[in-house]
Amino acid sequence: MPTALTRDAAAVRADRRTLLLAAGTIMTVFAIGAAAQTAWVYGNQGGMVPVGTRILANLTAVASMLVILAVTGVSLPQRGPLAVVVGVLSAGVTASGVRFAFQLLLDVYVDPSQQVISAELASGAVVAWIAATMGLAAMLSQRRLRTEVAERAQARLQIELALAALQHEEVRVRREVAEGLHGSMQQRLVLVVARLDALVAELGEAGDRRAVTAEDVALLREVREQIETVREADVRTTSRMLYPEQLEVGMVPAIRALLGRIPRSVNTRLGVSDEVRVVDDPADPRLTRSERLLAVRVVEEAISNALRHGQAEVVDVRVSLVGDALEVRVSDDGHGFGDDAGTPSGTARLADRLRLVGGDLRVTSVPGDGTQVVALLPVESIRDAAL
């Protein structure tokens, strides 16, 4: 696969080729055409015109114009308009001077008048300028076409990346939900069913002879507790995994709900700027569902890392607007991490998703001095309003 560097070098070569080919062809047509026309005009008047030497002198103008265009590098993309104008002007002046020198050398003119000298020099330069300008125009239109093709390819690549990320995310969520359902929830339900079976069997065997004892009631209570656990811990956790609580109402309510589930031993703080309250107003929400979801996922991941890896006791969440982006900042007072940190996984997935929407995620930490996560998430409606 070509690298960006070889692609750039190939583009530079293609530009130079187009410029020289177009300018050279146009100038050659002029060179031969002008000599033929002079021969025809003078021939009709009965004069003798050295056509071959005229063409030869004209072709030296073509060659010198091409050399100057190549040497001054007017086809290079980094050349500014001034450098291009200077390059084209000097190509014209050089071509016209070289051509006239050859005309004298090849005896096209013997002792020319001042008028002839001026006319030859001016016409040579003007023709070279026209040819060089047309060559430049051809090169620029080719460059524009190339940029358009590259932009289209880049856009296609972005879409493919976004789709791949979505598919990856979907597979991960499906797997986690399946594991949640299959793992703990199923085990607990199996246990509950076994206990209920035992109780039913015992009561069935005893028939009417046996009264319900305190032990039976305790067992039934225990079974009830377990069903409650399944409902609270497993079903709700799995459901939250799919969609955070309160997200329909807004991003801030969803973050608040998330913080509300953290054990009381951890001190959590939430700071939301007034501008964010406006864009997250439930009556007039300006954040899309995916923007809200992504912002909440950032807080979720940062908090889960703070508690799991950093054993933090204080977690501070701040949401503000920076330009057209939402800035989500989560700081903790945990152990922090250095070079011994695990391979980025949850944070890397989030960073990928943020990058795909033009955002960014940074995690900074000083061992022993907490961790800070800063996510920037562009808000489409603010950006569109600014356009």
The binding site for ligand ATP (CB under 6 A) comprises 305-306, 309-310, 332, 334-337, 341-342, 344-348, 371
Pick between residue 240 and residue 309 the one whose CB is nearest to ligand ATP: 309
Contact of residue 298 among Mg ion, ligand ATP, none (CB under 5-8 Å per partner type): none
Give me the residue whose beta carbon is nearest to Mg ion. 346
Q: How far is the CB of 140 from Mg ion (least distance, A)?
A: 50
Of all residues in the shown chain, the one whose CB is closest to ligand ATP is: 346
How far apart are alpha carbons 316 and 302 in whole angstroms? Answer: 10
Question: For residues 131 and 303, which CB has a smaller minimum distance to ligand ATP in the complex?
Answer: 303
CA dihedral sign of residues 378, 381, 385, 387? positive
When CB distances are held under 5 to 8 angstroms depending on the partner's kind, the choice from ligand ATP, Mg ion, none that residue 342 binds is ligand ATP
- For the sheet with 314-322, list strands across it: 267-272, 314-322, 325-332, 371-378, 360-365
DSSP 296-315: HHHHHHHHHHHHHTS--SEE
CA 115 centroid distance within chain: 62
Shortest distance, position 261 Cβ to Mg ion, whole Å: 17
Alpha helices in the chain (DSSP H): 4-44, 51-71, 81-105, 114-180, 186-206, 214-229, 236-242, 251-260, 274-279, 289-308, 346-356, 380-386
Kindly state the smallest distance separating residue 150's Cβ from ligand ATP, in Å: 33
Nearer to ligand ATP, 143 or 309 (CB): 309
Residue 103 contact, options ligand ATP, Mg ion, none, Cβ 5-8 Å cut-off depending on partner type: none
HSE, side-chain direction, 13 A CA sphere, residue 57: 25
Q: Which residues contact 158 (CB under 8 A, 6 or more apart)?
A: 356
CB of 260 to Mg ion, least distance (A): 21
Pick what 92 binds: Mg ion, ligand ATP, none; C-beta below 5 to 8 Å, kind-dependent: none
Asked if 310 and 334 touch (Cβ cutoff 8 Å), the reply is: yes
Using the minimum distance from each CB to ligand ATP, give the nearer residue, 37 or 304: 304
Inter-residue contact 31 to 65 (CB < 8 Å): no
For ligand ATP, give the closer residue by CB, 115 or 265.
Answer: 265
State the binding partner of 344 from Mg ion, ligand ATP, none, CB within 5 to 8 A by kind.
ligand ATP
Least CB distance to ligand ATP at residue 304 (A): 7
Nearer to ligand ATP, 19 or 361 (CB): 361
Q: Which of ligand ATP, Mg ion, none does 336 bind, CB closer than 5 to 8 A by kind?
A: ligand ATP
As measured in angstroms, the least distance from the Cβ of 266 to ligand ATP is 12
Helix axes 114-180, 81-105, angle to 10 degrees: 140
Question: For tokens 């943020």, what's the residue?
Answer: 354
Of these partners, Mg ion, ligand ATP, none, which one is at the site of residue 335 (CB under 5 to 8 Å by kind)?
Answer: ligand ATP
In what helix (H) or strand (E) does residue 377 lie, and over which residues does it extend?
strand 371-378
Interface residue list for Mg ion (CB under 5 A): 305, 346
For the CB of residue 175, give the shortest distance to ligand ATP in the complex, in Å. Answer: 12
Give 183's DSSP letter. I
